[in-house]
């Protein structure tokens, strides 16, 4: 559906193949609680959900029951049929169809008579289902093709049902008017045919011109551009095109979802961390999920939601913030009213998470698109053949700011995008109710507080503040103090920042030429650093450094993770296959990464070394079977390494025997080393073990 008058509810839509090859017939059931004229537009879409054609019609809703034919014993019309006294238009030299459904009543057959004024072309075709020798639920297709000399004329066409074998039986008559026009005269009923909206945009063609209402994250006359907020000198913004909560409700001891949107002025591989800043004792932050709205490896627009768990009823406060390397990029704070359990009627259509609870207050900016979403259960939950319940605007005060955009479905829910574009600073009340045939559902109302500058309205003291990675910025919301924030240790976040040194990721496997197809080639190196900037990557030891050249260090995306990439230029003919290649990265604070080595690929002969990649966090245990050569790299202070090898035959580092305790258990030799160093530099100990092949 395209535009639908707020007074009209679309109860059902069905599409059926027509008798004409390649054509279909749409049947739309509508209802209204208000009399008068109401506009409804029907649209077609291609496979990418871009509108292609449109037809807008005017419905005349009447409260007069006398228009209903009451004698069901005689031939009469059924739904769906063109209503009495309808006015239609038909383009010259085009075939136009009018459909009716009728029944013969208690009689075996109904006769049809088509009465036209002076229209020279008019044919019809019928198709009936015979039940107990009587014609029931017959379809009548009238097709008309006006000629050029009939342009500008109006014709009254009547369809009369009767029983010719019994002239005393008078069936129902229906008439309609057909105006013959040029093809171009129909354009005012299909303005969206020439105005296509991209990215699931909603085309409204009922006015004097067509207009696209864009979904969240897009803008432009045809929704062709990604939405770009006003950053106002900041690196990020939550004041995008999504309504920002001011005061919302949640249910006690139930997960409460808060929609989030974040824009960055520079692309990132992954969304920044979302966490809680200030929060009342009666609310727990569970987690946040953010995904990229854009395609590609770098994105600037992220959307998702935060999950909160209220543990106390009453008024609570919480701040949600986007953080990158300890800096709060953006933060907003809101009130949260926690309500106790309530009895809900699950037999009628109802809203589901993450729809805001009834009475929520949301911020929107004047003259800017502002979105929020209604989520609700599918029709099958209520034993309805209708895929989704209808959603209608029920607030009695008319307003032009809110638009209920297209309905979307998944396997578990239906949802609507609500778009608000307000031109005044005011508070707008919006109410929406779910409805199925003979089943009125839940209603929820929301208050939209329209402000002049949303970014200023939601700004908090923690915006732009940098704390230590293990700390969280807490905005002071209750008193005027200087500074109006504090950086405090928060155990909830310590566990998320335990990786405080850089690590190499996705190193290439060691081959005789490191995978080079020629004598010289470039091998990419990727370093992930959670805190500090990487300033250099170098070959630490092992191979001759002159064989390698490391350059072009820059930020990059690798498997949707923010990393530093360096190009390792290799001269393959100078590689020593018996030596490891050891790498180290240095950051802006003078800290070095754990040394990571790629060991030689093992030959297949018995008794030779077996290679492996080692490195990463200090204090790990290498468990090895079948004979290995292991490289263990120790940082300062004490570190104990246990290396296990089946049927160990020889240890090539006698220096380590002074601090080793050897033992054997269940055929596995255990070497325990206790190595202490006060040297600030990283100490390398190489253990090479020659062993015989054995079955595991």
pLDDT-based confidence at residue 497 (cuts at 50, 70, 90): very low
Q: Are 504 and 526 in contact (CB under 8 A)?
A: yes
> In DSSP terms, which residues pair with 9 in a beta bridge?
31
For domain 499-592, give its CATH number from 3.30.2010, 2.60.40, 1.10.10, 3.30.1360.
Answer: 2.60.40
Terminal-residue alpha carbon distance, the chain: 67
C-alpha triplet 634, 636, 639: angle, nearest 5°: 55
pLDDT of residue 348: 92
- Angle 383-384-386 (CA atoms, 0-180°, nearest 5)? 155
Question: What is the band of 582 on the pLDDT scale with cuts at 50, 70, 90?
Answer: confident
Pick from 361-375, 557-571, 612-626: least confident: 612-626
227-456 CATH fold: Immunoglobulin-like (2.60.40)
- Which pLDDT value is given to residue 626? 29
**Which tops the pLDDT comparison, 3 or 635?**
3
What is the spatial distance between Cα 369 and Cα 372, in angstroms, rounded to a whole number?
10
Stronger pLDDT, 504 or 509, i.e. the higher one: 504
Using CB atoms within 10 Å of the CB of residue 19, give its burial: 0 to 12 exposed, 13 to 18 middle, 19+ buried. Answer: exposed
Tokens of 465: 């503040």
> Among the ranges 107-111, 437-441, 617-621, 685-689, which has the highest mean pLDDT value?
437-441
Arithmetic mean of pLDDT, 25-52: 78
Q: What is the pLDDT of residues 151-181, one digit of tens each?
A: 888 888 888 888 888 888 888 888 889 898 8
Q: Check pLDDT > 60 for residue 243.
A: yes
Q: What is the pLDDT of residues 459-470, one digit of tens each?
A: 888 988 998 877
> In this predicted model, what pLDDT tens digit does every residue of 250-263 receive, in sequence order?
999 999 999 888 88
User: pTM of the entire structure?
Assistant: 0.63
Averaged over 55-61, what is the pLDDT? 83
pLDDT for position 227 = 83
What is the pairing mode between strands 596-598 and 581-587? antiparallel
Least confident of 642-646, 652-656, 691-695: 642-646
**Would you state the pLDDT for residue 355?**
93
Long-range contacts of 649-654 (CB under 8 A, 24+ apart): 649/689, 649/690, 649/691, 649/692, 650/689, 650/690, 650/691, 651/687, 651/689, 652/687, 652/688, 652/689, 652/690, 653/685, 653/686, 653/687, 653/688
Q: What is the pLDDT of residues 266-300, one digit of tens each?
A: 777 777 888 899 888 889 999 988 887 665 555 57
Per the omega criterion (within 30 degrees of 0), is the bond before 354 cis?
yes
State both tokens at 166.
């019994």
- 499-592 matches 71-181 in CATH topology: yes
Choose the weakest-confidence range: 17-31, 155-169, 194-208, 555-569: 17-31
The strand pair at 439-451 and 361-365 is best described as parallel
Classify domain 71-181 by CATH number. 2.60.40.10
User: In terms of Cα–Cα distance, which of 239, 248, 458, 459 is closest to 335?
Assistant: 248
Which of 178-192, 313-327, 601-615 has the weakest average pLDDT?
601-615
pLDDT at residue 248, rounded to an integer: 94
Q: Where residue 441 falls among pLDDT bands split at 50, 70, 90?
A: very high
DSSP letters spanning 237-298: ES-SSBPEEEEEEEETTS-EEEEEEEEEEEEESSPPEEEEEEE-TTEEEEEEEEEESS-SS-
Domain boundaries, the chain: 1-68+187-213, 71-181, 227-456, 499-592, 602-696
pLDDT tens-digit map of 186-219: 877 878 887 888 888 888 888 788 888 888 888 8
Residue-wise pLDDT for 108-147, tens only, equals 888 888 877 666 556 677 777 665 555 677 888 888 888 8
The per-residue pLDDT for 120 is: 58
**Residue 621: pLDDT band with limits 50, 70, 90:** very low
Residues in contact with 481: Cβ distance below 8 Å, sequence separation at least 6, in sequence order: none
Q: What is the pLDDT of residue 674?
A: 40
Average pLDDT, the chain: 74
pLDDT tens-digit map of 647-685: 333 334 344 344 334 444 333 333 333 433 333 333 333
């Amino acid at each position: 559906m395209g535009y639908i008058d707020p007074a009209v509810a679309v109860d059902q839509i069905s599409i059926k193949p027509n008798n004409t090859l390649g054509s279909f017939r749409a049947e739309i059931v509508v209802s209204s609680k208000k009399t008068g004229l109401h506009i409804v537009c029907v649209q077609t879409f291609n496979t990418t959900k871009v509108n292609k054609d449109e037809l807008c019609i005017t419905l005349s809703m009447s409260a007069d029951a006398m228009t209903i034919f009451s004698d069901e014993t005689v031939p009469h019309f059924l739904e769906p049929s063109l209503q009495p006294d309808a006015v239609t238009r038909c383009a010259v030299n085009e075939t136009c169809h009018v459909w009716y459904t009728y029944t013969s009543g208690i009689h075996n057959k109904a006769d049809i008579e088509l009465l036209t004024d002076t229209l020279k072309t008019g044919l019809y075709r019928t198709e009936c289902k015979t039940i107990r020798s009587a014609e029931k639920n017959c379809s009548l297709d009238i097709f008309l093709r006006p000629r050029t000399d009939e342009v500008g004329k109006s014709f009254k066409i009547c369809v009369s049902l009767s029983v010719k074998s019994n002239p005393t039986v008078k069936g129902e008559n229906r008439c309609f008017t057909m105006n013959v026009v040029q093809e171009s005269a129909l354009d005012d009923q299909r303005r969206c045919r020439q105005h296509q909206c991209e990215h699931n945009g909603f085309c409204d063609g009922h006015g004097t011109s067509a207009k696209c209402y864009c979904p969240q994250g897009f803008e432009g006359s045809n929704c062709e551009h990604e939405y770009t907020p006003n950053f106002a000198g900041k690196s990020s913004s939550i004041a995008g095109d999504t309504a920002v909560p001011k005061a919302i409700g949640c249910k006690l001891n139930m997960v409460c979802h808060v929609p989030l949107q974040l824009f960055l002025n520079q692309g990132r591989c992954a969304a920044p961390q979302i966490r809680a800043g200030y929060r009342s004792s009666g609310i727990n932050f569970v987690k946040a999920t953010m995904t990229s709205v854009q395609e590609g490896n770098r994105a600037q627009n992220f959307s998702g939601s935060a999950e909160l768990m209220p543990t106390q009823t009453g008024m609570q406060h919480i701040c949600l913030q986007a953080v990158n390397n300890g800096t709060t990029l953006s933060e907003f704070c809101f009130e949260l009213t926690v309500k106790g359990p309530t009895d809900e009627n699950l037999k009628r259509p109802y809203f589901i998470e993450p729809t805001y609870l009834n009475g929520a207050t949301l911020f929107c900016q004047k003259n800017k698109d502002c979105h929020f979403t209604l989520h609700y259960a599918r029709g099958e939950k209520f034993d309805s053949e209708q895929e989704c319940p209808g959603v209608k605007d029920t607030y009695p005060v008319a307003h032009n700011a809110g638009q209920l955009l297209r309905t979307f479905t998944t396997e578990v829910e239906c949802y609507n995008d609500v778009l608000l574009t307000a031109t005044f600073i005011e508070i707008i009340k919006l109410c929406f109710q779910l409805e199925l045939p003979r089943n009125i559902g839940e209603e929820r109302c929301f208050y939209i507080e329209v402000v002049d500058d949303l970014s200023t309205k939601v700004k908090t003291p923690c915006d732009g503040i940098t704390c230590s990675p293990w700390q969280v910025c807490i905005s002071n919301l209750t008193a005027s103090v200087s500074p109006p924030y504090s950086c405090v240790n928060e155990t909830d976040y310590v566990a998320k920042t335990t990786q405080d040194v850089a690590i190499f990721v996705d190193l290439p496997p060691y081959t005789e030429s490191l995978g080079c197809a020629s004598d010289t080639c470039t091998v990419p190196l990727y370093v992930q650093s959670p805190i500090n900037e990487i300033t250099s990557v170098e070959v630490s030891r092992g191979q001759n450094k002159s064989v390698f050249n490391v350059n072009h260090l820059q930020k990059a995306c690798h498997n949707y993770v923010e990393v530093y990439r360096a190009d390792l230029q290799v001269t393959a003919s100078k590689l020593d296959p018996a030596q490891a290649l050891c790498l180290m990265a240095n950051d802006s604070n003078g800290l070095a990464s754990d040394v990571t080595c790629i060991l030689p690929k093992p030959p297949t002969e018995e008794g030779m070394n077996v290679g492996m990649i080692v490195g990463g966090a200090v204090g790990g245990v290498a468990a090895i079977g079948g004979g290995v050569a292991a490289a263990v790299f120790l940082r300062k202070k004490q570190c104990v390494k246990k290396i296990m090898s089946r049927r160990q035959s020889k240890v090539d580092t006698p220096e380590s025997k002074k601090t080793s305790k050897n033992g054997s258990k269940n055929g596995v030799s255990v070497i325990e080393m206790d190595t202490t160093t006060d040297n600030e530099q990283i100490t390398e100990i190489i253990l090479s073990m020659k062993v015989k092949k054995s079955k595991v």
